[in-house]
Amino acid sequence: MTINITMAVTLAGLYSIGFYLLMQRSLMRVILGIVVLGHGANLFLQVAGGPPGEPTFVGTAVIEAMVDPLPQALALTAIVITFALTTFLLALSYRSWALLGHDEVQDDVEDRRVAAAERAAREREDEAAEAEVGESERVAGFEAPEAPEAGPGQTDEEAGIR
């Protein structure tokens, strides 16, 4: 099957704009991305039926000249569904704006908390490791009288290098 080059370029444009907008931080742009992507997908479904032809009414044209009606029926259904869901999305985004007072898509709070806990645990581990190093040096330098000062001093130096 051949496909119209104008349609192919339009589809490529709609899909790339849609996905680009989806990547944005602002909720309004994300929703516009969904809308543009939806147009792209529905247009694609239309184009899947092949080149334009005569309307599909019995007796008005020969069957060979008629356009394939199935993708049109599919596209119509898909348009209704995307339309309804876009309306729902707009209502939800209005609620989100009313509740939060801004339209920025935020990070997951619990994700952040888990990541922060992990970072804290790693820092604690590092501190514990450092303390251990200090202790072993203190044990090693037990014969030398000025060892207690040397231990922490060295760890400080190490920290400086780090």
Partner 1 sequence: MSFLVALPVLLPLLAAALSLVAGRSPMVQRTLGVVVLTVIAVVAGVLLVEADSAGPVVLKLGGYGPPFGITLVADRLASLLLLVSALVTLAVLIFSVGQRITDFGRRAASTTFHPMYLMLCAGVSLAYLTADLFNLFVAFEIMLASSYVLITRRVTARRVRASMTYVIVSLTSSLLFITMIALVYTATGTVNLAALPEKIAGLPPGVQSSLALLIVIVFGIKAALVPLHFWLPDSYPTAPAPITAVFAALLTKVGVYALIRTQTLVFVHTDSWAVLLVVALLTMIVGALGAIAQNDLNRMLSFLLVSHIGYMLFGLALFTVIGLAGVILYVVHHITVQAALFLVSGLVTRHTGTVSLQAMSGVAKAYPVVAVLFAVPALSLAGIPPLSGFVAKIALLQAGTDVGTPVALAVTAGAVVTSLLTLYAVTKIWAGVFWGKPALPEPDPDPNDDVTVGTGSTSGAMLGATGGLVVVSVLIAVFAGPLAAMSERAANDLLHDEGYRSAVLGQEGR
Task: Give the binding site for partner 1 (CB under 8 A).
Answer: 1, 3, 15, 18, 22, 27, 30, 34, 37-38, 40-42, 44-45, 47-49, 68, 70-71, 74, 77-78, 81-82, 84-85, 88-89, 92-93, 95-96, 99-100, 105-106, 108-111, 113-114, 117-118
Tell me whether residue 63 or residue 161 sits nearer to partner 1 (CB atom): 63
* CA distances (Å), origin 24, targets 14, 62, 89, 105, 159: 16, 49, 16, 9, 40
Q: State in angstroms the smallest separation of the CB of 154 from partner 1.
A: 35
Q: State in angstroms the smallest separation of the CB of 60 from partner 1.
A: 20
User: What is the rounded distance in angstroms from the CA atom of residue 135 to the CA atom of residue 145?
Assistant: 15
Q: State in angstroms the smallest separation of the CB of 57 from partner 1.
A: 17
Tell me whether residue 31 or residue 151 sits nearer to partner 1 (CB atom): 31
Q: State in angstroms the smallest separation of the CB of 152 from partner 1.
A: 34
Tell me whether residue 14 or residue 151 sits nearer to partner 1 (CB atom): 14
Tell me whether residue 32 or residue 133 sits nearer to partner 1 (CB atom): 32
Q: State in angstroms the smallest separation of the CB of 92 from partner 1.
A: 6
Tell me whether residue 92 or residue 128 sits nearer to partner 1 (CB atom): 92
Q: HEC profile for the chain?
A: CCCCHHHHHHHHHHHHHHHHHHCCCEHHHHHHHHHHHHHHHHHHHHHCCCCCCECCCCCCCCHHHECCHHHHHHHHHHHHHHHHHHHHHHHHHHHHHHHHCCCECCCCHHHHHHHHHHHHHHHHHHHHHHHHHHHHHHHHCCCCCCHHHHHHHHHHHHHHHC
